[in-house]
Amino acid sequence: MDRIKSMQAFSAVVSEGSFAAAAEKLNTSSQLVSKYVAQLEDYLGVRLLNRTTRKINLTEVGQQYAANVKQLLEQIAEIEHRVGAMHTETSGQLRISAPVSFAISHLSGMISDFQTDYPQVTVDLQLNDRKVDILHEGFDIALRIGHLKNSSLIGKFIAPVHLKFYAAPSYLKEFGTPQHPKELAEHRRLIYSYSENDGSEIMGYWFKNLDTQSKLPMVSNNGDVLVQAAVAGHGIALQPTFIAQQACNEGKLVSILNEHAPPSMGLYAVYAHRKLLPRKIRAFLDFSEGYFGNPPVWDS
Amino acid sequence: MDRIKSMQAFSAVVSEGSFAAAAEKLNTSSQLVSKYVAQLEDYLGVRLLNRTTRKINLTEVGQQYAANVKQLLEQIAEIEHRVGAMHTETSGQLRISAPVSFAISHLSGMISDFQTDYPQVTVDLQLNDRKVDILHEGFDIALRIGHLKNSSLIGKFIAPVHLKFYAAPSYLKEFGTPQHPKELAEHRRLIYSYSENDGSEIMGYWFKNLDTQSKLPMVSNNGDVLVQAAVAGHGIALQPTFIAQQACNEGKLVSILNEHAPPSMGLYAVYAHRKLLPRKIRAFLDFSEGYFGNPPVWDS
DNA sequence: TTTAATTATCAACAAATCGTTGTTAATGGT
DNA sequence: ACCATTAACAACGATTTGTTGATAATTAAA
């Protein structure tokens, strides 16, 4: 038995004054209305209406109940309306986790463009290079750079991310320019903390013999810092183009070993579920689609 | 879909923190709870919970909705509790319609006895010799004297009511004592307005030739008045024993034609419906059962 | 008074839904 | 790496729902 339907039926009978009129109002048959009210009475164990074939009279209990039910139904409608509005209005807070360097260099512009399109959405942008647990930490979307792993999360591809080896001309002048990745093991490498050895040949060379302290002048969890170190001539950095390309264009860095670049990665928007996605999230995903162009702005 | 059940399921999941715990609380299976919540989400078109196999997280909408639903469910419980209480507590107002003379002479005592047994019931006793429309005029019970007619109403027999012909000794001395009903047409008759010719032989004699003005000194809708008129020697009255018997016992009246008394009638409690009878009504009906004894107090 | 129309209820049946069972995939703790 | 727990999914039988037709009761009209 659907108690809410029963209540609606009862309420309609009370306000319309007859079963037939109530049925019309609710677009159903009088028989069904009669059944509903009878069910409600059975459930409550109370007679709500004294009815002859011609007239309807509320019992004492029925009067009280009718008043309460009317209020209740209005409340339910109000609540559901609010929920519906929240869902369709494309509003609310959108919590995004993003990698630090990418966010600083390219995301801030995108977010502000997004907000001019959707002023009702408040963005809470948390910069963090960790792999956050978006469910547990309450994020709607996490932007991640890398390859997508199997998980219950969905990842939407936003833009390709290419890694290149960079070094300052001064460094190359002093230590020579490696012609093949296997020479990397002999160079001073600027390592990004969260980078992973994905098992590819090129990454094997990159991480080779890192225990030799002299070859490892710097480790950081921030790419910009590493790029600056490279610019200062402290070593070779393996960094995404969106971080280092500008310095390269300015002549402060040179990209090397371009024929042996690691497999290209992607910028992904990772989110939690597949159906009944809140509008604000849908909107952000759609907005991000193609925003950076292909090839992306930082590569052209 | 039973929205209330769904709400309860959702609310339980929120408060218990897991589907399994919620299922236990509601004495059902976790599968069912899962189904309910999914249905609710489909109905609302909104994701309420972000769930992994291990943790539950409310969405933004879900938080709001959960708070509202919790309140709502409490309200529903409160309302239904009140309704239940009204039904089981044997309380409330009991509106009774009763014949004037009978109420004055015998009902007042019964009502006060009833109220000592059921102090929570407020009695609203309306005296009226009309046949009230109990539904339309909002009565719970109508006490009626007479024969029960076919109707959708139920009548419960409370006590037998006998009619007798009464006259004052002085009247009989002056006009003679009728030995057979057919002689009534020659006597001065004190007529009760609401009395009906039920088609019986004896009532035929009683109503015969009433157009002769001299034979009709008085018509009243009140039996006591007619009895007093009879005591004063103004004529013959056909009245129930419960009104006239006392005057008879005191010698002020004599009952005549006892072998030809009209068919005995009854005092009935008439009420509206058969199932889900409010407690207060049930209580009154049970209380009235046998209250006046058999033969009733006014006849013994 | 009789007839017709309206109204609520009852009965029965087909269709839809519900709640169960068994299974799978994912996750966190040991 | 394994195991226990958890949520989701699929499928099936049982129950409930909503429909249709019929019945009884009451009022208005003829």
pLDDT score for B274: 60
**Average confidence score pLDDT of chain A:** 86
Identity at B11, one-letter amino acid code: S
Identity at A294, one-letter amino acid code: N
E-assigned strand segments in B30-174: 49-51, 56-58, 92-98, 121-127, 141-146, 154-161, 163-167
Retrieve residue A140's tokens. Answer: 């709607």
pLDDT score for A228: 92
B142/D30 CA-to-C1' distance in Å:
34
B46 with A87: Cβ contact below 8 A? yes
What does the pLDDT look like over B287-296, one tens digit per residue?
998 899 888 8
B72 with A69: Cβ contact below 8 A? no
pLDDT score for B207: 83
Retrieve residue A182's tokens. Answer: 């296997």
Q: Is the pLDDT of residue A270 over 80?
A: yes
Q: Is the pLDDT of residue A256 over 90?
A: yes
Q: Which nucleotides of D are covered by protein (CB under 7 A)?
A: 5-10, 16-22, 24-27
Q: Which residues of A touch B276 (CB under 8 A)?
A: 41-42, 45-47
pLDDT score for B276: 64
Q: Which nucleotides of C are covered by protein (CB under 7 A)?
A: 6-11, 17-22, 25-28
Q: How far apart are alpha carbons B59 and A278 in whole angstroms?
A: 9
What does the pLDDT look like over B182-231, one tens digit per residue?
888 888 899 888 777 777 788 888 888 776 666 677 888 888 899 999 99
Q: Is the pLDDT of residue A167 over 90?
A: yes
What does the pLDDT look like over B64-97, one tens digit per residue?
888 888 888 888 888 888 887 777 777 788 889 8
Q: How many CB atoms lie within 10 A of CB A294?
A: 10
Question: Could you tell me if A68 lies within 8 Å of chain B, comparing CB atoms?
Answer: yes
Q: How far apart are alpha carbons B275 and B277 in whole angstroms?
A: 5
Contacts 24+ apart (CB under 8 A), B287-293: B287/B110, B287/B113, B287/B114, B287/B117, B287/B118, B288/B110, B288/B156, B288/B158, B289/B156, B289/B158, B291/B110, B291/B113, B291/B158, B291/B159, B292/B106, B292/B110, B292/B158, B292/B159, B292/B267, B293/B159
Give me the mean pLDDT over the A15-38 stretch: 87
Domains recognised in chain A with CATH numbers: 3-88 (1.10.10.10), 92-161+265-299 (3.40.190.10), 163-260 (3.40.190.10)
Q: Is the pLDDT of residue B150 over 70?
A: no
Q: How many CB atoms lie within 10 A of CB A222?
A: 17
Q: How far apart are alpha carbons A18 and A72 in whole angstroms?
A: 21
Contacts 24+ apart (CB under 8 A), B104-111: B104/B224, B105/B224, B105/B242, B105/B243, B105/B298, B106/B242, B106/B292, B106/B297, B106/B298, B107/B143, B110/B287, B110/B288, B110/B291, B110/B292
DSSP-derived secondary structure letter, B94: E
What does the pLDDT look like over A216-241, one tens digit per residue?
778 888 889 999 999 999 999 999 99
What does the pLDDT look like over B114-148, one tens digit per residue?
988 888 888 898 888 877 878 777 788 889 888 77
Query: Which range, of A75-79, A265-269, B82-86, averages the lowest pLDDT?
Result: B82-86
